[in-house]
Amino acid sequence: MFLCFDIGGTNIKSCLTNASGVCADKAVTPTPNSYTELMNVLTGIAENAEFEACAVAVPGTCAPKSGETIFAPNLPCINGKNIKNDLQNTTRKPVFIENDANLAALGEYYFVEKNNISSMVFLTIGTGLGGGAVLNGELLTSDISLFEAGHINIEPDGRPCGCGKKGCLEAYVNTSGILETYHMLSAHGHADNVNMVYSASKTGDKAAALTFEVFGGYLGIGMASLANILVPEKIKIGGGISEMSDAFLGHTLKVFAKNIYPAYRNRVSIELSTLKNSAGLKGCAALCLTQLSKN
């Protein structure tokens, strides 16, 4: 069994996963805002579990080999901290870490696509826009976690992004991006959440429908840019917003087809995620399996 932690800005999800990707003992705990308390949560769960190795998905950029978290804008208390070493010291078991979106990509690949394809890009669209890539059957990573797909620039001097830059894809393609676009297109109309915009788009609210078209267009441009560099066999879309795909995917596919490099056209297919919200935790198990097999 592998102990899997998916640390988010709001909640820590945990479970024990076997080598087939079946999860047991799933739990959700609010994320504390101090590092000491966060480590207490992780070690408390680990003390009551039997496992061979542990993997931690972190919400930011990390150094998978050394274990240090470098930049976690939504959870600053883990910046500069080493969850891998600290958890290894208390559990005496191998601990691996990786960026959360990279692990969602690895989970979707390892447990769904491994026998069909050898390259895939995965995008997670929710409160943020994360991404990961698998090339030649392996997660694309390095001394530092790679593939910040949400921070490719699509509008010079565009909207401010949570990372501190302007015009990032994530500033348009995530939940707050949708709300901001709706506010702009509906002559300062207000929606509390994306579900309201989605429902309005189904009941004749033209600004709401146009909001999803704009969203889908940015997503299509972003995916074409990624496809032009990596030419994956598939780009898969997960995260909460992917459940609203009937409102935007048609337009995304059109914009994608128009913007992909002509020689790569028809080589890259676009699909929705199969594992949905469990991709990250299953990715933790896939990380344990792939890392242990290397040793």
List the one residue out of 61, 120, 80, 107 whose CA is nearest residue 267: 120
For residue 168, state whether it binds Zn ion (rule: CB under 5 A).
yes
Tokens encoding 151: 């921070």
Q: How far is the CB of 138 from Zn ion (least distance, A)?
A: 26
Of the candidate spans 77-85, 127-135, 153-161, 229-237, the one that interacts with Zn ion by CB under 5 A turns out to be: 153-161
| Comparison of 94 and 177: residue with beta carbon closer to Zn ion | 177
In the chain, count H helices and then E strands: 8, 12
| Comparison of 49 and 149: residue with beta carbon closer to Zn ion | 149
As a 3-state breakdown, the chain gives helix, strand, coil percent values, each rounded to 5, of: 45, 25, 35
CA quadruple 64, 68, 70, 76: dihedral positive or negative? positive
* Residues in binding contact with Zn ion, number by CB under 5 A: 5
Q: How far is the CB of 253 from Zn ion (least distance, A)?
A: 25
Q: Are strands 234-238 and 269-272 parallel, antiparallel or unpaired?
A: parallel
| Comparison of 80 and 164: residue with beta carbon closer to Zn ion | 164
Q: How far is the CB of 250 from Zn ion (least distance, A)?
A: 27
- Which residues have CB under 8 Å from 239's CB, separation 6+? 123, 124, 125, 126, 130, 273
For residue 152, state whether it binds Zn ion (rule: CB under 5 A).
no
For residue 163, state whether it binds Zn ion (rule: CB under 5 A).
yes
For residue 249, state whether it binds Zn ion (rule: CB under 5 A).
no
Q: How far is the CB of 152 from Zn ion (least distance, A)?
A: 9
Neighbours of 37 (CB within 10 A): 11
- Phi first, then psi: give them for residue 56, nearest 5 degrees: -125, 125
Q: How far is the CB of 170 from Zn ion (least distance, A)?
A: 5
Kindly list the distances between the CA atom of residue 70 and the CA atoms of 27, 56, 58, 192, in Å, as whole numbers in the listed order: 27, 15, 10, 33
For residue 151, state whether it binds Zn ion (rule: CB under 5 A).
yes
Q: How far is the CB of 148 from Zn ion (least distance, A)?
A: 8
Q: Is 80 left (phi over 0), alpha (psi -120 to 50) or beta?
A: left
Interface with Zn ion in residues 267-286 (CB under 5 A): none
Mark 60-89 with x for binding to Zn ion (rule: CB under 5 A) and - for no binding: ------------------------------
**Site for Zn ion, rule CB under 5 A:** 151, 161, 163, 165, 168
